[in-house]
Amino acid sequence: MTTKRDFLTLRDITPQELQMLLQRAQDLKKGKDATRCPLIGKSIGLLFEKASTRTRVSLEVGMYQLGAQTIYMNPKEIQMGRGETIHDTAKVLSRYLDAVVIRTFSHDTLKEFASHAAIPVVNGLSDLHHPCQALGDLQTIIERKEKLKGLRLAYVGDGNNVANSLIEAASLTGMNISLACPKGYEPDPGVLKKAKESIGAEIAVVRDPVEAVRKADVVYTDVWISMGQENEASRKRKKFEKYQINSTLLSNARKDAIVLHCLPAHRGEEITDEVMDGPRSAVFDQAENRLHTQKALLEFLLA
């Protein structure tokens, strides 16, 4: 019996597997094997505690294109919402489904589910990691820069789940990353420690956005107030007011630097319209690439 593979963080795959996934995603985007349905007859669950646009739609479309069917589950509409344990839910769903994608508030929920599931579990987003987003980000950078190793990525804003996954992406690819975060909003210390033990990537956390962005090839940001943090909105906006990606800050990056944002964007807060809709923005290519990289990932886990 084949051992099941989970994808809870980018560290669940090797650098070689990551390279293979990104190449496969590029091939899929170009239409290679367009009529092939490697997952025909498979059923994949989407267990989402959090609202979603890109993750849900890209996964449902991707699964359909691969030949699989999807089953969307809101915890409030299944027995988990009435107190059934994660253990029991994982055991039961493993009897019905071939894989499950979970989008959850707590990474511990994801790990607990995966520990009891007999099928592959994919992280569609947790409070600690967003590895599916990072896959699409890497594909977008390759499309625009034709490489990853040696590039400099500047992340400006909250050291959140996206930042954590970008740190892991850098450590697996040899891409250098500087993160500008206000005090108290740095990336996860455990993620940083493991990444810095890797060979070939420079990883730095700084306070000054200008320092982070200087000579960057890629400038990246995310919302200041994530889902579930609405009660912190006023306080965080004051802390982050100097961390906006605007034309002035972007002028410190390389002239051919691209701008990324995982979306949804709060325009006028972490990024201006001028930058997001400007010629250096790759934001909507980035959103599209979620489809292709997730198709490659599901094919890798299930085909």
Could you confirm whether 144 is annotated as catalytic?
Answer: no
Long-range contacts: 144-148, Cβ < 8 Å, 24+?
144/258, 144/282, 144/285, 145/217, 145/218, 145/258, 148/173, 148/174, 148/175
Give tens-digit pLDDT for 83-138.
Answer: 999 999 999 999 999 999 999 999 999 999 999 999 999 999 999 999 999 999 99
- Structural domain including 92 reads 10-130+289-302
Q: Among residues 98, 290, 292, 294, which one is catalytic? A: 290
Is the previous residue joined to 264 through a cis bond, with omega within 30 degrees of 0? yes
Give me the chain's average pLDDT, please.
Answer: 96
- Secondary structure (3-state) at 185: coil
Is residue 68 a contact partner of residue 20, using CB atoms and an 8 Å limit? no
Same domain, yes or no: 113 and 149: no
Residues 240 and 278 in one domain: yes
Whether 286 is a known active-site residue: answer no
Of 137, 217, 261, 262, the catalytic one is 262
Known catalytic residue at 69:
no
Residue 201 covered by a domain: yes
Residues 169, 120, single domain; the answer is no
Shared domain check, 281 and 181: yes
Residue-wise pLDDT tens digits, 263-298: 999 999 999 999 999 999 999 999 999 999 999 999
Pair 148, 237 in one domain: yes
With a threshold of 0.95, does the pTM exceed it? yes
- Of residues 100, 140, 123, 180, the one with CA closest to residue 262: 140
Q: Is there a domain that residue 2 lies in?
A: no
| pLDDT beyond 90 at 50 | yes
Same domain, 119 and 145: no
Q: How far is CA 133 from the centre of its chain?
A: 2
Same domain, yes or no: 105 and 141: no
- How many Cα atoms within 13 Å fall on the side-chain side of residue 101? 29
Residue 197 lies in a domain: yes
Q: Is 95 a domain residue? A: yes
**DSSP annotation string for 196-262:** HTSSS--EEEES-HHHHHTT-SEEEE--SS-TT-GGGHHHHHHHHTT--B-HHHHTTS-TT-EEEE-
Q: What is residue 53's DSSP assignment?
A: S
Q: Identify whether 188 is a catalytic site residue.
A: no
Please give the backbone phi and psi of residue 91, each rounded to the nearest 5 degrees, phi first. Answer: -65, -45
Inter-helix orientation angle 15-29/283-302, to 10°:
110
Which one of 24, 54, 56, 103 is the catalytic residue?
A: 103
Please indicate, yes or no, whether residues 119 and 138 belong to a single structural domain of this protein.
no
Question: What 3-state DSSP class applies to 112?
Answer: helix
The answer as to whether 199 is a domain residue is yes
Catalytic site includes residue 87: no
193-215 pLDDT tens trace? 999 887 678 999 999 999 999 99
| pLDDT band for position 229 (cuts 50, 70, 90) | confident
According to DSSP, the β-strands at 43-48 and 99-103 are parallel
> Would residue 5 count as lying in a domain?
no
- CATH code for position 269: 3.40.50.1370
Same domain flag for 164 and 282 = yes
The answer to whether residues 101 and 138 belong to one domain is: no
290 is catalytic: yes
Pair 100, 139 in one domain: no
Number of domains present in the structure of the chain: 2
Instruction: For residues 139 and 230, state if they share a domain.
Output: yes
Q: What is the pLDDT of residue 1?
A: 53
